[in-house]
Amino acid sequence: MTTGARRTPGQALGRVGFYLGVALFTVFAALPFYVMLITAFKRNNELFDPTTNPFWFSQPPTLEHLQLLFGDTLFLRWLLNSFMVGGLVVVITLLLAVPAAYSLARLAGSWGEALGIGIFLTYLVPPTLLFLPFAKVVAALGLQNTLWALVVVYPTFTVPFCTWLLMGFFKGIPRDIEEQAMVDGYNRFNAFRRAVLPLAVPGILTVVVFAFTLSTSEFVYALTFVQSSAQKTVSIGVPTELVRGDVFRWGPLLAGALLASIPVAVLYTLVIDQFVAGLTAVAGE
């Protein structure tokens, strides 16, 4: 930033333009969430009056929507469901992805590279392609309308994604460390376990967060497999259950949407840089 004594009009205009641009983009991105925030605390008579200012309060804010959300709906149950599913999916993902990523990064040589990209590409297969046969498979396994269906199906996209992400992490650990451990008396697997794995902890944490946020945000499979209200995750529960026919309970609906969004958003923001770093690496090949 220039701190010169005098700025040219061009520079001053440039700065104004810069801040204006930033402001516009920020407003564009955050406006729906802001409105959700306000509306979550708006009294119903004000909320349902189209002449009042939707961006601020005319009457004092109220907690009634939150009370309804937590007291009169299954919101807490849905949060719990999402949490449990997320937790189990994280465990399954780690069990499958960590060894696979190491194998691809270190042991598979030149075809490891190609296989890694292939695995990553399965992440790009949209759920809308597979959800129909999945519905049948899930029914055949007797898992329809349970959260277990989600626990089984979600790793199909978390594992490819996380394997590829972890590949990058393992590649970043110098080969010297494993080779030193092997020379020091450990076989390949133990060298991995005792010398490499501790160094991959940041990567593993990233994978944990990704697997969790990806599961919690998932919509299509959850919508397809789970019908009963008490079994829903928050991602489908809020959009489908807080609507009675054509009547939207806007207050609790927006409150619930916002409340469930923010923690996931915070978590995802923490790890998104790793994701992008991985993508730049793909681009560099």
Least Å distance, CB 5 to another protein, is 21
Q: Which 3 state secondary structure label does DSSP give 4?
A: coil
Q: What is the C-alpha to C-alpha distance for residues 90 and 234, in angstroms, rounded to an integer?
A: 17
Residue with Cβ nearer another protein (5 or 283): 283
* List of E strands, 61-184: none
Region 66-95 residues binding another protein, contact defined as CB under 8 A:
95
Asked if 40 and 65 touch (Cβ cutoff 8 Å), the reply is yes
Among 81, 206, 213, 231, binds another protein (CB under 8 A): 213
Asked if 196 and 102 touch (Cβ cutoff 8 Å), the reply is yes
Tokens 């460390």, located at residue: 177
Question: Site mask, another protein, residues 1-40, x = CB under 8 A?
Answer: x----------------xx-xx--xx-xxxxxx-xx--x-
Asked if 208 and 132 touch (Cβ cutoff 8 Å), the reply is no
Q: What is the C-alpha to C-alpha distance for residues 283 and 275, in angstroms, rounded to an integer?
A: 13
Region 125-144 residues binding another protein, contact defined as CB under 8 A:
125-137
Q: Would you count residue 257 as binding another protein (CB under 8 A)?
A: yes
Region 156-195 residues binding another protein, contact defined as CB under 8 A:
156, 159-160, 163, 174, 176-177, 179-191, 194-195
Instruction: Return the H-helix or E-strand segment holding 280.
Output: helix 250-283
Q: Would you count residue 211 as binding another protein (CB under 8 A)?
A: no
Residue with Cβ nearer another protein (155 or 168): 155
Q: Would you count residue 251 as binding another protein (CB under 8 A)?
A: no
